[in-house]
Amino acid sequence: MFTSKSQADLIPSMFVSTAIAMIFTQLAGYGATLIDGIITSRALGSLAYSAISLLGPFTGVVLLISNAFSVGAQVVSSQAVGRGEKDKANSAFTVSVIGIAVMAVLLIIACMLWPSELFRFCGITESSHPEIYSHMGDYLKGYMPGIPFMMLIQIMGPVIVVDLGKALFTSSALLFFGADIIGDLLNAYVFHGGNYGMGLATSISYMLQFLMLVTHFMRKNSYFKISLKGFEASHIYEMAKAASPTFVLKLATALRDLVVNRINIYVAFSAAAIAARGIQTDTNTVLFCFAMGMGKTLLTMSAIFYGAADRRGMTRLLSCAAKMAVIVSGTISVIAFIGAEWIARCFTNEPEVIEFAAFSMKCMAVALVPDNLSVLFQHYLQGINERKLVNIINFASRFFIPVITAGVLGYYFGSKGIMASLAVSEIILLVFIAALIFVHTGSLRNFTLLPETFGGADSDNIYASITSIEDVGRESLIAEKFCLEHGLSERRAKLMSMFVEEMAGNILTHGKPKLWHKLKADYRLSLNDGKICMTLRDCCGRFDPSAFYEAHKDDSPAGLPGLKIVVKLADDVRYFSAFNSNNIMVCIDAEKGESK
C-alpha cells in the first residue's frame, strides 16, 4: 500500500456526529414512550399501563414491517450512493415509500376488522382478562390513525440524515417529543380521555413530525426525491434481500415478546409482575436507543463504504463504532444500575412493582454493553450483505437465546428470573458472535469479515489526508507514479496527476468547512474494475462539480476553468453528499490507450 504523510481521516468525526444526532432522535422518540408509560401508570393506573405494554407484540409487527422497508431502502440506496448511482438510490427510496403506505392501510383495516384476534395474538382474551381487554381496545382506536405517519417516518428519517438533513430530523424528533408529552398531560388531567386519548396523542404527534419532515423533499437541492426515473423491478428484489435480516430480527423479537408474555403469565400472573415487565420493556427501549442510533448510522455508512469498495474505510468505521459503543453504553449502564430504584419510583409508588422494576433495570444495565456491541455488529453485517450470518445472529439474539434463558430462569426463579434473563442472554450472545467470527474466518482478527479481494490489493490503493497545498503537490506526484506502475501511458498518468492537483487544490482554495471541522480532504487513489479512481471527501459546503460544469460549460474561461477541464477529460465523474460531506470520484479507464 502506498502511504503518505498523514493517515488521519474524517470517518470518525462523520460517524460520531451522525450517531449523536441519531441517538438524540431515538431518545426523543423513545423518551416520549417512556414518559407515556409514566403518565399512564400514575394517572390511569397499573391496569391501563399493563394493557398498553401487552400490545407490544402488535406494535412489534408494525415496526417489523416499517423497519424492513426502511432498511431495504437504506442498504440498496446507500450502496448506490457509494457508487454514484443517483437514479437507483431514488428508485429504492420511492419503492419503499409506496410499499409502506400500502402496508399501513392494510394494517389499519386489520385493526378495524379483527381487534379480538389481534389481542389474542398478544396473549389476552376478553373472557380471560376483561379488565385489561377494554383498555387495550381503547388505546388501539387512538393509536391507529398514526400508523401510516409513524411508518413513513421510519423510511424518511435515515434518508434525510444522509442527505445533509440531521438538523431537520433532530428538530422533528423534538417536535414529536413535545407534542406527545403535552398531549398525554392534556388527556390525563384535562380531557380525561383514558387510553384512547393516550393513543390519539401519539398519533397526532406522529402526524406533526411527518409534516415537518416532508419539507425536506421540497428543497431544490435535495438528493432524494420520490421519482420513478431509473425504476427497475430488480430493485424491489434487491431491497427484499437487503431487508430480510431486519424481517428475521423483528419477527424473532415479536415471537420472543409473545412467548415471554405467556411465560410470565404462566409463572406469576399478577398486576405487579406484568406492570414491572412493562416498565422493563419501556426503560429497555430507551436505554438501548443508544445502540439503535449508532446501529442505524453504521448500517448506512457501512453500505456506502461497501459500495465504494473501501476496505480501510470499513475497518476505521467499525473500530470507531465499537469504541463509541463501549464508552457510551458503559457510562449509561453505570448510571442506570445506580439509579434503578429511583427510575422505578418515577412510574409508581406501589412497593411490589418498584421492587420488581428496580431489579429488572439493574439486569438491563448489566446487559447494555454486550447488547450494544452485538447490535452494531448485526447492522454492520447487514450493510455488507452478509445476510446468512446476520440472520443466524438475529434469530439467536432475539428469539432462541432469550426464550430459552427466560424459560429456564423463569422456571427456577419466577418473574425475577425472566427479568434477569435479559442480561444473561446478552452475555451468551456476545460469546456466540465471537465463536461465529472464529468459525467463519479462523481467527478473531478479521472482524470485518471482508474477503481478501475486497477493495483490491494493498499495492492498488493510496490513502492520505490532504491539509495543505504542499500535500496536494506531493499527492499529485505520487499519483503519476502510481498510474505509471499500473500500466497507464505517460500522458494519461500526467492527466490523473493534474486531476488530483486541480480537485484537491480547489477544496483547499475555495472550500469553507462547516462548524467544528477543519479544512482538509480525505484522499484515496485506487485501481478497481479496470479503472484508476481518485476519491476526495471533505466537510465543506455542498459542491457538485458535474452540476457546476453543466451550468457553466458555455461561460468564459473564468470561474474554475481547471475544474471544467477535469470534468471534460475524465472518463467518469461522480458526486454525492452524505453525512455533511462532499464525496467526489474522478476515474480514468486503465484499459484505454489514450484519453478521450
Long-range contacts of residues 541-550, Cβ cutoff 8 Å, at least 24 apart = 541/511, 541/512, 541/514, 542/164, 542/221, 542/577, 542/582, 543/511, 543/582, 544/575, 544/577, 545/503, 545/573, 545/575, 545/584, 546/573, 546/574, 546/575, 547/575
DSSP of 455-500, one letter per residue? Answer: T--GGGEEEEEE-SHHHHHHHHHHHHHHHHHTT--HHHHHHHHHHH
DSSP of 548-569, one letter per residue? Answer: HHHHHTTS-S-SSHHHHHHHHH
> Rounded to the nearest 10 degrees, how much is the dihedral formed by the CA atoms of 577, 580, 581, 583?
-10
Treating both helix axes as pointing N-terminal to C-terminal, what angle do 147-162 and 194-214 enclose, rounded to 10 degrees? 30
* Amino acid identity at 225: K
2-3 β-sheet, strand order:
2-3, 461-466, 521-528, 531-538, 581-589, 572-578
* Residue 578 β-bridge partners: 581
| For the chain, domain boundaries | 2-441, 458-589
Contacts of 492 (CB under 8 A, 6+ apart): 483, 588, 592, 594, 595
Identify the three-state secondary structure at position 78.
helix
Identify the three-state secondary structure at position 398.
helix
Place of cell 377494554: 134
CA distance 480 to 490: 8
CA distance 277 to 468: 58
Cα–Cα separations (whole angstroms), residue 507 to 122, 134, 554: 57, 63, 23
Q: State residue 8's pLDDT score.
A: 46
Place of cell 498510474: 483
Contact 43, 189 (CB under 8 A): yes
Contact 448, 377 (CB under 8 A): no
Superfamily of domain 458-589: Histidine kinase-like ATPase, C-terminal domain (3.30.565.10)
Contact 142, 55 (CB under 8 A): no
Contact 164, 81 (CB under 8 A): no
Q: State residue 359's pLDDT score.
A: 85
Q: State residue 408's pLDDT score.
A: 85
Return the biggest CA–CA distance within the chain: 85
Q: Characterise 227 by phi-psi region: left (phi > 0), alpha (psi -120 to 50), beta (else).
A: beta
Q: State residue 595's pLDDT score.
A: 42
The 3-state DSSP composition of the chain as helix, strand, coil percent (nearest 5) reads: 75, 5, 20
Per-residue pLDDT of the chain (596 residues; tens, 9 = 90+): 444 444 445 778 778 878 887 887 777 766 676 677 778 777 777 777 777 777 777 877 787 788 778 878 778 888 777 777 777 788 888 888 888 888 899 999 988 888 888 888 777 777 767 777 788 888 888 989 999 998 898 888 888 877 777 788 888 888 988 898 899 899 888 888 888 888 899 899 999 999 999 998 888 777 777 776 656 667 677 777 777 777 777 677 767 777 776 676 666 556 666 677 667 676 777 777 788 888 888 888 888 888 778 888 888 888 889 999 999 989 988 998 998 888 888 777 788 778 878 887 888 888 888 888 888 888 888 888 888 888 888 888 878 888 888 888 877 887 778 778 878 888 888 888 888 888 777 766 777 788 777 777 788 888 888 888 888 889 999 988 998 888 888 888 888 888 888 888 888 888 777 666 677 888 888 887 778 888 888 877 777 666 666 655 665 555 566 677 777 778 888 877 777 778 888 888 866 655 44
